[in-house]
Amino acid sequence: MFTTQLLDVVTTAGVLYIVALGLLIVYGVLKIINLAHGAFLAVGAYAGVVTTGLGWNPWTALLVAFVIGVAGAALVEWRVLRGLYARPMDTILATWGLNIIVVQLITLYFGREIRFAESAIGRAVNIGGATYSEYRLVLLLLAVVLGVGVWLVMQRTQIGIVARAVIMNEELAQALGINTRLVRFVTFGLGAGLAALAGALLTPLVSVHPNLGVPWLINAFMLVLVAGVSLLNLALAALVLGGAQVLVSSYGNPVLGSLTIVILAVIILRFRTITI
Protein backbone atom coordinates (compact mmCIF):
# COMPACT_ATOMS: atom_id res chain seq x y z
CA MET A 1 0.00 0.00 0.00
CA PHE A 2 2.79 2.38 0.93
CA THR A 3 4.69 1.73 -2.30
CA THR A 4 1.54 2.19 -4.33
CA GLN A 5 0.78 5.46 -2.65
CA LEU A 6 4.28 6.76 -3.11
CA LEU A 7 4.04 5.86 -6.79
CA ASP A 8 0.62 7.53 -6.98
CA VAL A 9 2.11 10.73 -5.58
CA VAL A 10 5.16 10.92 -7.82
CA THR A 11 3.38 9.85 -11.00
CA THR A 12 0.52 12.29 -10.37
CA ALA A 13 3.11 15.00 -9.89
CA GLY A 14 4.76 13.90 -13.13
CA VAL A 15 1.51 14.14 -15.09
CA LEU A 16 0.72 17.56 -13.61
CA TYR A 17 4.22 18.76 -14.42
CA ILE A 18 3.95 17.66 -18.05
CA VAL A 19 0.56 19.32 -18.40
CA ALA A 20 1.61 22.60 -16.76
CA LEU A 21 5.05 23.01 -18.37
CA GLY A 22 3.87 24.74 -21.55
CA LEU A 23 1.59 27.04 -19.60
CA LEU A 24 4.47 28.07 -17.32
CA ILE A 25 6.81 28.86 -20.20
CA VAL A 26 4.23 31.04 -21.93
CA TYR A 27 3.39 32.74 -18.64
CA GLY A 28 7.06 33.46 -17.96
CA VAL A 29 7.90 35.05 -21.28
CA LEU A 30 4.59 36.57 -22.37
CA LYS A 31 3.27 37.37 -18.88
CA ILE A 32 -0.13 36.03 -19.84
CA ILE A 33 -1.96 32.87 -18.84
CA ASN A 34 -2.72 31.08 -22.07
CA LEU A 35 -6.32 30.06 -21.54
CA ALA A 36 -6.21 28.14 -24.82
CA HIS A 37 -3.81 25.71 -23.13
CA GLY A 38 -6.69 23.28 -22.57
CA ALA A 39 -7.66 23.47 -26.23
CA PHE A 40 -4.10 22.62 -27.25
CA LEU A 41 -4.21 19.63 -24.91
CA ALA A 42 -7.30 18.53 -26.84
CA VAL A 43 -5.54 19.14 -30.16
CA GLY A 44 -2.74 16.82 -29.02
CA ALA A 45 -5.19 14.18 -27.88
CA TYR A 46 -6.97 14.23 -31.24
CA ALA A 47 -3.60 14.01 -32.98
CA GLY A 48 -3.36 10.71 -31.12
CA VAL A 49 -6.82 9.72 -32.37
CA VAL A 50 -5.92 10.51 -35.98
CA THR A 51 -2.43 8.98 -36.06
CA THR A 52 -3.42 5.73 -34.36
CA GLY A 53 -6.57 5.71 -36.52
CA LEU A 54 -4.26 5.72 -39.56
CA GLY A 55 -2.54 2.74 -38.04
CA TRP A 56 0.66 4.57 -37.12
CA ASN A 57 2.67 3.75 -34.05
CA PRO A 58 1.15 5.50 -31.00
CA TRP A 59 4.49 7.15 -30.22
CA THR A 60 4.41 9.03 -33.53
CA ALA A 61 1.36 10.82 -32.14
CA LEU A 62 3.71 12.75 -29.84
CA LEU A 63 5.65 14.23 -32.72
CA VAL A 64 2.53 14.94 -34.77
CA ALA A 65 0.84 16.58 -31.77
CA PHE A 66 3.86 18.76 -31.07
CA VAL A 67 4.18 19.91 -34.67
CA ILE A 68 0.46 20.69 -35.02
CA GLY A 69 0.47 22.51 -31.68
CA VAL A 70 3.45 24.65 -32.66
CA ALA A 71 2.08 25.41 -36.12
CA GLY A 72 -1.40 26.30 -34.90
CA ALA A 73 -0.10 28.50 -32.13
CA ALA A 74 2.40 30.22 -34.42
CA LEU A 75 -0.38 31.13 -36.79
CA VAL A 76 -2.54 32.50 -33.98
CA GLU A 77 0.34 34.45 -32.44
CA TRP A 78 1.19 35.98 -35.78
CA ARG A 79 -2.33 36.91 -36.87
CA VAL A 80 -4.05 37.67 -33.57
CA LEU A 81 -2.05 37.96 -30.37
CA ARG A 82 0.79 40.09 -31.72
CA GLY A 83 -1.43 43.12 -32.04
CA LEU A 84 -2.78 42.76 -28.52
CA TYR A 85 0.30 42.55 -26.28
CA ALA A 86 0.02 46.19 -25.28
CA ARG A 87 -3.30 45.23 -23.64
CA PRO A 88 -2.56 42.17 -21.48
CA MET A 89 -6.18 41.71 -20.37
CA ASP A 90 -7.35 41.60 -23.98
CA THR A 91 -4.59 39.14 -24.80
CA ILE A 92 -5.83 36.76 -22.11
CA LEU A 93 -9.40 37.19 -23.34
CA ALA A 94 -8.18 36.46 -26.85
CA THR A 95 -6.64 33.18 -25.68
CA TRP A 96 -9.97 32.26 -24.09
CA GLY A 97 -11.69 33.06 -27.38
CA LEU A 98 -9.10 30.91 -29.11
CA ASN A 99 -9.92 28.12 -26.67
CA ILE A 100 -13.59 28.28 -27.61
CA ILE A 101 -12.86 28.38 -31.33
CA VAL A 102 -10.46 25.44 -31.24
CA VAL A 103 -12.85 23.34 -29.14
CA GLN A 104 -15.73 24.16 -31.50
CA LEU A 105 -13.64 23.29 -34.56
CA ILE A 106 -12.77 19.95 -32.99
CA THR A 107 -16.45 19.39 -32.17
CA LEU A 108 -17.49 20.24 -35.71
CA TYR A 109 -15.05 17.84 -37.25
CA PHE A 110 -14.93 14.98 -34.75
CA GLY A 111 -18.26 15.43 -32.96
CA ARG A 112 -18.84 15.69 -29.26
CA GLU A 113 -18.72 11.96 -28.61
CA ILE A 114 -15.61 10.36 -27.20
CA ARG A 115 -12.95 9.06 -29.55
CA PHE A 116 -10.53 6.23 -29.33
CA ALA A 117 -6.77 6.62 -29.43
CA GLU A 118 -4.66 3.53 -29.16
CA SER A 119 -2.22 3.36 -26.25
CA ALA A 120 1.43 2.58 -26.67
CA ILE A 121 1.54 0.84 -23.30
CA GLY A 122 -1.38 -0.66 -21.42
CA ARG A 123 0.49 -3.08 -19.17
CA ALA A 124 1.06 -3.14 -15.47
CA VAL A 125 4.48 -3.97 -14.09
CA ASN A 126 5.78 -5.13 -10.76
CA ILE A 127 7.79 -2.53 -8.91
CA GLY A 128 8.88 -2.75 -5.31
CA GLY A 129 6.35 -5.51 -4.62
CA ALA A 130 3.43 -3.52 -6.02
CA THR A 131 1.74 -3.97 -9.36
CA TYR A 132 1.64 -0.60 -11.06
CA SER A 133 0.65 0.96 -14.36
CA GLU A 134 3.71 0.95 -16.58
CA TYR A 135 2.43 3.93 -18.53
CA ARG A 136 2.27 6.13 -15.44
CA LEU A 137 5.87 5.23 -14.71
CA VAL A 138 6.81 6.11 -18.28
CA LEU A 139 5.05 9.46 -17.84
CA LEU A 140 7.05 10.10 -14.69
CA LEU A 141 10.25 9.39 -16.57
CA LEU A 142 9.16 11.68 -19.40
CA ALA A 143 8.32 14.42 -16.92
CA VAL A 144 11.83 14.19 -15.51
CA VAL A 145 13.38 14.13 -18.99
CA LEU A 146 11.29 17.10 -20.12
CA GLY A 147 12.00 18.96 -16.90
CA VAL A 148 15.76 18.44 -17.03
CA GLY A 149 15.78 19.05 -20.78
CA VAL A 150 13.99 22.37 -20.57
CA TRP A 151 16.08 23.36 -17.56
CA LEU A 152 19.30 22.63 -19.43
CA VAL A 153 18.12 24.63 -22.42
CA MET A 154 17.21 27.55 -20.16
CA GLN A 155 20.54 27.45 -18.28
CA ARG A 156 23.04 26.44 -20.87
CA THR A 157 22.02 27.75 -24.25
CA GLN A 158 21.88 31.24 -25.68
CA ILE A 159 18.17 30.69 -26.47
CA GLY A 160 17.58 29.86 -22.83
CA ILE A 161 19.51 32.90 -21.60
CA VAL A 162 17.55 35.11 -23.98
CA ALA A 163 14.27 33.60 -22.77
CA ARG A 164 15.27 34.13 -19.15
CA ALA A 165 16.29 37.70 -19.92
CA VAL A 166 12.86 38.37 -21.42
CA ILE A 167 11.21 36.75 -18.40
CA MET A 168 13.21 38.91 -15.98
CA ASN A 169 13.10 42.25 -17.75
CA GLU A 170 11.60 42.49 -21.17
CA GLU A 171 12.39 46.16 -21.72
CA LEU A 172 16.05 45.70 -20.92
CA ALA A 173 16.18 42.69 -23.22
CA GLN A 174 14.75 44.87 -25.99
CA ALA A 175 17.23 47.60 -25.24
CA LEU A 176 20.08 45.11 -25.61
CA GLY A 177 18.94 44.29 -29.13
CA ILE A 178 16.91 41.16 -28.46
CA ASN A 179 14.01 40.73 -30.84
CA THR A 180 11.42 40.15 -28.14
CA ARG A 181 8.66 39.83 -30.70
CA LEU A 182 10.41 36.80 -32.13
CA VAL A 183 11.00 35.45 -28.62
CA ARG A 184 7.27 35.75 -27.86
CA PHE A 185 6.40 34.09 -31.14
CA VAL A 186 8.71 31.16 -30.54
CA THR A 187 7.69 30.83 -26.91
CA PHE A 188 3.97 30.81 -27.58
CA GLY A 189 4.49 28.18 -30.25
CA LEU A 190 6.71 26.09 -27.99
CA GLY A 191 4.27 26.36 -25.07
CA ALA A 192 1.36 25.26 -27.24
CA GLY A 193 3.49 22.50 -28.73
CA LEU A 194 4.24 21.23 -25.24
CA ALA A 195 0.53 21.44 -24.39
CA ALA A 196 -0.34 19.36 -27.45
CA LEU A 197 2.41 16.92 -26.58
CA ALA A 198 0.95 16.62 -23.09
CA GLY A 199 -2.49 16.05 -24.62
CA ALA A 200 -1.15 13.18 -26.71
CA LEU A 201 0.54 11.75 -23.62
CA LEU A 202 -2.76 11.86 -21.72
CA THR A 203 -4.75 9.74 -24.19
CA PRO A 204 -3.80 6.38 -22.67
CA LEU A 205 -5.12 7.66 -19.33
CA VAL A 206 -8.31 9.48 -20.27
CA SER A 207 -11.00 9.41 -22.92
CA VAL A 208 -10.72 11.83 -25.81
CA HIS A 209 -13.44 14.44 -26.22
CA PRO A 210 -13.37 18.12 -27.20
CA ASN A 211 -13.47 19.48 -23.65
CA LEU A 212 -10.95 17.14 -22.12
CA GLY A 213 -8.54 20.01 -21.51
CA VAL A 214 -10.71 22.04 -19.17
CA PRO A 215 -10.05 20.29 -15.83
CA TRP A 216 -6.35 20.02 -16.67
CA LEU A 217 -6.18 23.72 -17.51
CA ILE A 218 -7.59 24.57 -14.09
CA ASN A 219 -5.02 22.46 -12.25
CA ALA A 220 -2.17 23.68 -14.45
CA PHE A 221 -3.30 27.26 -13.88
CA MET A 222 -3.18 26.78 -10.12
CA LEU A 223 0.28 25.22 -10.31
CA VAL A 224 1.63 28.09 -12.39
CA LEU A 225 0.11 30.67 -10.06
CA VAL A 226 1.92 29.00 -7.19
CA ALA A 227 5.18 28.29 -9.03
CA GLY A 228 5.56 31.68 -10.70
CA VAL A 229 8.08 31.34 -13.50
CA SER A 230 10.48 28.84 -11.97
CA LEU A 231 10.80 25.33 -13.37
CA LEU A 232 12.03 24.04 -10.05
CA ASN A 233 9.09 25.62 -8.24
CA LEU A 234 6.78 24.00 -10.74
CA ALA A 235 8.21 20.58 -9.97
CA LEU A 236 7.88 21.28 -6.25
CA ALA A 237 4.33 22.58 -6.66
CA ALA A 238 3.35 19.52 -8.70
CA LEU A 239 4.81 17.26 -6.05
CA VAL A 240 3.24 19.07 -3.09
CA LEU A 241 -0.17 19.86 -4.57
CA GLY A 242 -0.46 16.64 -6.59
CA GLY A 243 0.76 14.64 -3.60
CA ALA A 244 -1.74 16.33 -1.32
CA GLN A 245 -4.50 15.57 -3.79
CA VAL A 246 -3.58 11.89 -3.86
CA LEU A 247 -3.26 11.62 -0.09
CA VAL A 248 -6.49 13.49 0.65
CA SER A 249 -8.27 11.34 -1.93
CA SER A 250 -6.82 8.19 -0.38
CA TYR A 251 -7.36 8.96 3.30
CA GLY A 252 -10.30 11.29 2.90
CA ASN A 253 -12.28 11.09 -0.29
CA PRO A 254 -11.75 12.06 -3.94
CA VAL A 255 -14.30 14.89 -3.80
CA LEU A 256 -12.19 16.63 -1.16
CA GLY A 257 -9.08 15.50 -2.99
CA SER A 258 -10.00 17.33 -6.15
CA LEU A 259 -10.46 20.53 -4.17
CA THR A 260 -7.06 20.13 -2.55
CA ILE A 261 -5.05 21.66 -5.38
CA VAL A 262 -7.23 24.76 -5.53
CA ILE A 263 -7.43 25.24 -1.76
CA LEU A 264 -3.72 24.67 -1.19
CA ALA A 265 -2.91 27.01 -4.06
CA VAL A 266 -4.98 29.75 -2.49
CA ILE A 267 -3.33 29.22 0.90
CA ILE A 268 0.17 29.24 -0.59
CA LEU A 269 -0.57 32.39 -2.59
CA ARG A 270 -1.87 34.14 0.53
CA PHE A 271 1.23 33.07 2.44
CA ARG A 272 3.50 34.24 -0.36
CA THR A 273 2.04 37.71 -0.58
CA ILE A 274 3.07 38.16 3.05
CA THR A 275 6.61 36.87 2.78
CA ILE A 276 7.66 38.41 -0.51
Q: Does 84 bind other proteins (CB under 8 A)?
A: no
Considering only the stretches 3-11, 94-102, 145-153, 187-195, report the one whose residues sit in contact with other proteins under the rule CB under 8 A. 3-11
Q: Does 173 bind other proteins (CB under 8 A)?
A: yes
Residues in the chain: 276
Distance in Å from the first CA to the final CA of the chain: 39
Cβ nearer to other proteins, comparing 101 with 205: 205
Q: Does 134 bind other proteins (CB under 8 A)?
A: yes
Residue type, 196: A
**Helix/strand/coil for 142:** helix
> Which 229-248 residues touch other proteins, going by CB under 8 A?
245-246
User: What DSSP state is assigned to residue 118?
Assistant: -
Identify the CA nearest to 162 among candidates 173, 146, 172: 173
Geometric angle at alpha carbon 151, from 57 and 128, rounded to 5°: 60
Q: Does 12 bind other proteins (CB under 8 A)?
A: yes
Residue type, 223: L
User: What DSSP state is assigned to residue 71?
Assistant: H
Considering only the stretches 7-15, 20-28, 57-65, 190-198, report the one whose residues sit in contact with other proteins under the rule CB under 8 A. 7-15
Q: Does 57 bind other proteins (CB under 8 A)?
A: no
Smallest gap from Cβ 36 to other proteins, in A, equals: 18
Q: Can you tell me which of 236, 258, 262, 268 binds other proteins, judged by CB under 8 A?
A: 258
How is 175-206 classified by DSSP, letter by letter?
HTT--HHHHHHHHHHHHHHHHHHHHHHHTTTS
The C-alpha atoms of residue 95 and residue 93 are separated, in whole angstroms, by 5
Q: Does 149 bind other proteins (CB under 8 A)?
A: no
Q: Which residues bind other proteins (CB under 8 A)?
A: 1, 4-5, 8, 11-12, 15, 111-116, 118-119, 121-125, 131-136, 158, 161-162, 164-165, 168-169, 171-181, 204-209, 212, 214-215, 245-246, 249-250, 253-255, 257-258
